[in-house]
């Protein structure tokens, strides 16, 4: 049976690279994202690799939209083998100025949405006796940086959620793992450069050099393809005994 992967936030950045990698392997893909041309982006990849696909413009802030996306997915494909909870947002501010609505949006998109999608797909994965859940956390799921209270809390929370569902999934051949990227040059990072310039009163080059890449031993942005390869490996039959873990792909940031 052709394998199916649902990837949230897959019309940009890391999610898009993961989708391309899985499409090249022949997976059917459920794309999701808020990019205005998301439908076109998804259609182009599907055409390029000759795969079946579905695009959902579901806004992960809204549980009823998530349930609709999952229902459409199961109606069309009947099963989902791989779920990649990838969509995420960032906001940078000192804690005393951090707006509550930004905190809530980050927790809801980065953490709660992963729970809702997982919960909705869980019975189908249990029934299939197969599931690979891959949560895109961050190096900030393992360590903190100042001015990112909500993001760091959401990404640490996602690792705790990953461990819990790994335990619950083990009897059903459902694995759950987190990937913890360092800095990857995608739109989320481009926006952060602008925010950090204001918070730290620095130039663009100073933010990249002194705030971002200074933490990594390898002073380069991590290529999206490296994250996609890690996800593809975790989705394989051969990775069946890897579960509940967090894999840093962060250029040696955490080695110090
Ligand atoms: P990106 O901005 O390029 O992509 C984010 C995707 O999430 C987009 O498709 C966007 O439309 C989608 N999204 C955001 N809010 C949504 C919502 N409410 N509903 C549905 N979709 C929504 O950023 P990226 O760098 O590719 O980020 C992907 C993931 O990787 C995020 O979870 C991010 O936290 C994580 N991450 C990124 C980096 C990095 O340096 N870029 C590092 C560590 C972790």
pLDDT digits (tens, 9 = 90+) for 36-49: 999 999 999 999 99
Q: Is the CB of 158 under 6 A from ligand 1?
A: no
Q: Which ligand 1 atom sits closest to the C-alpha of 60?
A: 19
Query: What is the tens place of the pLDDT at every residue in 85-133?
Result: 999 999 989 999 999 999 999 999 999 999 999 999 999 999 999 999 9
Q: Considering only CA atoms, which residue is closest to atom 32 of ligand 1?
A: 88
Q: Is the CB of 109 under 6 A from ligand 1?
A: yes
Distances (CA, A) of 215 to 220, 250, 253: 11, 9, 5
Query: What is the tens place of the pLDDT at every residue in 10-21?
Result: 999 999 999 999
151 is catalytic: yes
Give the pTM.
0.97
Query: What is the tens place of the pLDDT at every residue in 233-248?
Result: 999 999 999 999 999 9
Cα–Cα distance measured from residue 180 to residue 140, given in angstroms and rounded to the nearest whole number: 8
> From the CA of 91, how far away is ligand 1's center (Å)?
12
Residue from 88, 102, 141, 223 to probe ligand 1 pocket by mutation (most atoms less than 8 Å from CB)? 88
Is the per-residue pLDDT at 164 higher than 90? yes
Q: Is the CB of 177 under 6 A from ligand 1?
A: no
Q: Is the CB of 248 under 6 A from ligand 1?
A: no
pLDDT for 118 = 98
Residue from 70, 87, 113, 140 to probe ligand 1 pocket by mutation (most atoms less than 8 Å from CB)? 87
Chain centre to alpha carbon of residue 173: 21
**Residue 159: strand, helix, or coil:** helix
CATH class for the region spanning 4-182+223-255: alpha beta
Strand order through the sheet with 131-136:
53-56, 28-32, 4-7, 82-85, 131-136, 174-181, 246-249
Among candidate residues 62, 151, 172, 183, the one labeled active-site is 151
Average pLDDT, the chain: 97
């Amino acid at each position: 049976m052709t394998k199916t992967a649902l990837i949230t936030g897959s019309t940009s950045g890391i999610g898009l690279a993961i989708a391309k990698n899985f499409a090249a392997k022949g997976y059917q893909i459920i794309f999701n994202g808020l990019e205005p041309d998301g439908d076109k982006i998804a259609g182009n990849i599907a055409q390029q690799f000759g795969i079946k696909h579905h695009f959902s413009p579901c806004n992960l802030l809204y549980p009823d939209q998530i349930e609709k996306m999952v229902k459409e997915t199961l109606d069309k494909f009947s099963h989902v083998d791989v779920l990649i909870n990838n969509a995420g947002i960032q906001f940078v501010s000192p804690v005393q100025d951090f707006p509550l609505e930004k905190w809530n949006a980050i927790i809801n998109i980065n953490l709660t949405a992963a729970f809702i999608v997982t919960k909705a797909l869980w019975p189908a994965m249990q029934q299939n006796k197969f599931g690979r859940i891959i949560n895109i956390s961050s190096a900030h799921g393992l360590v903190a940086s100042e001015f990112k209270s909500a993001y760091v809390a959401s990404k640490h929370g996602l690792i705790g959620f990953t461990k819990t569902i790994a335990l619950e999934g083990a009897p059903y051949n459902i694995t759950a793992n987190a990937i913890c990227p360092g800095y990857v040059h995608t739109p989320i990072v481009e926006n952060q450069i602008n925010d950090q310039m204001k918070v730290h009163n620095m130039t663009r080059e100073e933010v990249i050099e002194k705030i971002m890449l200074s933490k990594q031993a390898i002073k380069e942005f991590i290529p999206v393809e490296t994250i996609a390869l890690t996800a593809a490996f975790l989705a394989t039959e051969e990775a069946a005994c890897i579960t509940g873990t967090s894999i840093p792909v962060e250029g040696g940031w955490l080695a110090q």
